[in-house]
């Protein structure tokens, strides 16, 4: 097995684990450049049946709703693209793994952009909910201010569906990006240390401490350490609900969402 094939196997396995999230952020080859490449592949390989903007054609359905008849997970889309659907006009395409993932990234970007436009809440009121609940203490939203202990939300509307945004608010532990796993460690001296896990190798762990300072911990100097895979963000299930939750989701969906839709036209 070649190194590239092995990487694709690992990526496919990861997609199966996180398939329920249906997020381009969970798939390999999902950068803006990959989305652009996927758009070009779609227009040359798929547009004749599905329409130039993926909104459907005479023999094939729309692909922009985010709902797929034969499964909406990354794994299911990969299978449909490469193997086709028996008994239909959809045949399998002999594309390499990277091209398939780029096609999926393009479709996900279309789904996210369209879903943001359908947010039922009031984005203006959602901005007030964002401020009232102290979200800016940990997140930045493109305004030039905010905290950096949580993910940058400046373009969250172009990377997450409405359901994913809501889930992150009420159940942040449902999926935690490995970039936000944390480390709890005890030095041989007895000192306790904690921070966001930035990198790890055989001999050391690099963390970002709560104050923002980067620090390298040599494993030989640690009595014990633990990788914490839960989110540092508390659940807001009991604090934000009803109209406030819908408005907050609408506000977050508006961040970067219109940009993604414009780029896909």
Superfamily for domain range 123-170+238-263:
Cytochrome c-like domain (1.10.760.10)
The pLDDT value recorded for residue 21 is 37
Residue showing tokens 């790890």: 200
Q: How far apart are CA 166 and CA 169, in angstroms?
A: 5
Q: How far apart are CA 88 and CA 85, in angstroms?
A: 6
Question: What is the average pLDDT across 96-118?
Answer: 80
CATH 1.10.760.10 in the chain, residue ranges:
3-117, 123-170+238-263
CATH 2.30.30.100 in the chain, residue ranges:
182-228
Residues whose CB is less than 8 angstroms from the CB of residue 201 and which lie 6 or more positions away in sequence, other chains included: none
- Calculate the CA dihedral of residues 63, 68, 73, 77 and round it to 10 degrees: -60
Q: How far apart are CA 169 and CA 211, in angstroms?
A: 24
pLDDT band at 186 (very low <50, low <70, confident <90, very high): very high
Q: Do residues 23 and 164 make contact, with C-beta atoms less than 8 angstroms apart? A: yes
What angle (nearest 5°) sits at the alpha carbon of residue 19, between those of residues 15 and 22? 105
pLDDT digits (tens, 9 = 90+) for 81-104: 999 999 888 999 999 889 999 998
What angle (nearest 5°) sits at the alpha carbon of residue 19, between those of residues 114 and 51? 40
Q: How far apart are CA 79 and CA 85, in angstroms?
A: 9
Question: What is the average pLDDT across 137-161?
Answer: 81
pLDDT digits (tens, 9 = 90+) for 26-78: 457 778 888 899 999 999 999 889 888 787 877 788 887 666 778 777 788 89
The pLDDT value recorded for residue 8 is 42
Q: Regarding predicted confidence, which is higher, 264 or 31? A: 31
pLDDT digits (tens, 9 = 90+) for 200-256: 999 999 998 877 789 999 999 999 999 999 998 999 999 999 999 999 999 998 887
The pLDDT value recorded for residue 124 is 94
pTM score of the predicted model: 0.58
Q: Do residues 21 and 32 make contact, with C-beta atoms less than 8 angstroms apart? A: no
The pLDDT value recorded for residue 9 is 40
Tell me the backbone φ, ψ of residue 16, rounded to 5 degrees: -65, -40
Q: Do residues 169 and 236 make contact, with C-beta atoms less than 8 angstroms apart? A: yes
Superfamily for domain range 3-117:
Cytochrome c-like domain (1.10.760.10)
Q: Do residues 57 and 49 make contact, with C-beta atoms less than 8 angstroms apart? A: yes
Tell me the backbone φ, ψ of residue 251, rounded to 5 degrees: -65, -50
Q: How far apart are CA 123 and CA 156, in angstroms?
A: 14
CATH of 182-228, one of 3.30.420.40, 3.90.1150.10, 2.40.50.140, 2.30.30.100: 2.30.30.100
Q: How far apart are CA 180 and CA 160, in angstroms?
A: 17
Q: How far apart are CA 159 and CA 254, in angstroms?
A: 11
């Amino acid at each position: 097995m070649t190194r590239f094939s092995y990487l694709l196997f690992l990526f496919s396995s990861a997609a199966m684990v996180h398939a329920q999230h249906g997020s381009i952020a969970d798939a390999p080859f999902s950068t803006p450049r990959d989305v652009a490449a996927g758009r070009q592949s779609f227009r040359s390989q798929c547009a004749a049946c599905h329409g130039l903007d993926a909104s459907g054609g005479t023999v094939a359905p729309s692909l922009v709703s985010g709902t797929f008849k034969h499964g909406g997970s990354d794994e299911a889309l990969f299978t449909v693209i490469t193997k086709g659907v028996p008994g239909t006009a959809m045949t399998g395409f002999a594309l390499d793994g990277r091209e398939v993932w780029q096609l999926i990234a393009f479709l996900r970007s279309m789904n996210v952009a369209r879903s943001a436009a359908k947010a039922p809440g009031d984005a203006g009121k959602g901005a007030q909910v964002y401020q009232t609940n102290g979200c800016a203490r940990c997140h930045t939203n493109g305004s030039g201010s905010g905290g950096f202990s949580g993910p940058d939300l400046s373009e969250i509307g172009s990377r997450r569906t409405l359901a994913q945004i809501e889930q992150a608010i009420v159940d942040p532990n449902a999926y935690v990006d490995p970039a936000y796993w944390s480390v709890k460690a005890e030095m041989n001296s007895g000192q306790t240390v904690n921070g966001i896990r930035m990198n790890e190798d055989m001999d050391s762990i690099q963390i970002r401490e709560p104050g923002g300072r980067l620090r390298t911990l040599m494993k030989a100097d640690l009595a014990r350490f633990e990788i914490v895979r839960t989110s540092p963000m508390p659940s807001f299930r009991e604090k934000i609900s009803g109209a406030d939750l819908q408005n907050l989701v609408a506000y977050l969906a508006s961040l970067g969402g219109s940009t993604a839709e414009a780029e896909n036209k």
